[in-house]
């Protein structure tokens, strides 16, 4: 796919986000609507999409071949988190923002933006590799990332292990694991169930884009402060993360599509869930929400740039 095609894909995404923004601005959507869209995507459409796509894409042999690739994003995110720790000290990031900063620096929006962007750029065949990256991103965020955010807002206290496991076993991850088990045991679901999963899964992209538009409309300009912390997060999201993936994967004998999807996933904006979790644990959620907005807007510039780079892989 050429750069012009990539720009058109990004513009189509921007149109959907803009519709969410305008309808929210006009009062059609509110915070309850965004919460509803979020629940539908996370608890219904995304698990259905995972079952539909994985079962129609993989058999046991292909699954084992692709599964090895999940260790690449895990290693890169661990390195990125370590770099973030050094930047926190170097920039003297306020102590009550350490966890939020590290989460924004390390973890990308693999579902609400990453999934529709990759589908728009590479087609439905990319979904399986998107989900591999999602698993790595989710596991590390709900363990390492959330612990830091909790320390920001709860004076160093963290929740119990059972609560963390409950958060980790989210519906999308359960859907992913269920699909993996069905593939491993060579179980094929009836056509009417597969069709239902496919139709429900198709809701993921439009609802995700409308949700992002509502979030952007909810941010006030006074909450956005252009400072060294913001520059560091932007560099982490759009420069360091994709470059680490490129460096690790360039010489490995992995599918070319996997390499491209992982680079795009690494270059996504910060996770929307960071703002939600920050508010839940009384951390600086306005800071997180503002960075979600800024990095989402910045991704419209960087996605075509990385599509240009990927044409030479």
d(CA 263, CA 42): 23
Average pLDDT, the chain: 82
pLDDT at 167: 58
Residues 92-144 have pLDDT tens digits of 888 888 889 999 999 998 877 788 788 877 887 888 788 788 878 877 887 78
Gyration radius of the chain over CA positions = 19
Question: What fold, for 3-310?
Answer: Na+/H+ antiporter like fold (1.20.1530)
pLDDT at 2: 53
pLDDT of 266 higher than 60: yes
What are the sequence ranges of the domains in the chain?
3-310
pLDDT at 45: 87
d(CA 5, CA 97): 39
Contact yes or no for 142/168 (Cβ under 8 A): yes
Q: What would the two tokens of residue 48 be?
A: 């259905």
Q: Which residues of 221-247 are buried (b: 16+ CB within 10 A; e: fewer)?
A: eeeeeeeebbebbbebbbebbbebbbe
pLDDT at 262: 92
pLDDT at 222: 65
């Amino acid at each position: 796919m050429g750069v012009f095609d990539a720009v058109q894909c990004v513009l189509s995404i921007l149109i959907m986000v803009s519709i969410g923004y305008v309808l929210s601005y006009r009062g059609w959507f509110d915070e309850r609507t965004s919460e509803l869209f979020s629940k539908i995507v996370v608890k219904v459409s995304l698990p259905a999409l995972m079952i539909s796509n994985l079962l129609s894409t993989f058999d046991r042999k292909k699954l084992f071949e692709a599964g090895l690739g999940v260790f690449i994003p895990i290693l890169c995110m661990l390195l990125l988190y370590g770099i973030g720790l050094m930047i926190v000290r170097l920039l003297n990031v306020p102590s009550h923002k350490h966890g939020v900063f590290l989460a924004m620096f390390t973890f990308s929006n693999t579902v609400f933006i990453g999934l529709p962007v990759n589908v728009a750029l590479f087609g439905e065949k990319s979904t399986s590799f998107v989900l591999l990256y999602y698993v790595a991103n989710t596991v590390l965020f709900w363990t390492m990332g959330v612990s830091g955010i909790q320390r920001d807002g709860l004076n160093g206290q963290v929740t119990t292990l059972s609560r963390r496991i409950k958060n980790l076993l989210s519906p999308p991850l359960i859907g992913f694991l269920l699909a993996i088990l069905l593939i491993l045991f060579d179980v094929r679901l009836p056509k009417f169930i597969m069709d239902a999963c496919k139709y429900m899964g198709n809701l993921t992209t439009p609802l995700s884009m409308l949700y992002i538009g509502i979030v952007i409309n909810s941010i006030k300009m006074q909450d956005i402060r252009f400072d060294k912390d913001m520059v560091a997060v932007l560099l982490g999201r759009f420069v360091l993360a994709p470059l680490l993936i490129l460096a690790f994967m360039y010489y490995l004998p992995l599918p070319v599509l996997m390499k491209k999807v992982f680079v795009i996933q690494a270059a996504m904006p910060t996770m929307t869930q960071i703002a939600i979790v920050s508010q839940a644990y009384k951390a600086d959620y306005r800071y997180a929400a503002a960075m979600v907005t800024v990095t989402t807007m910045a991704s419209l510039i960087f996605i075509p740039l990385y599509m240009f780079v990927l044409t030479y892989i």
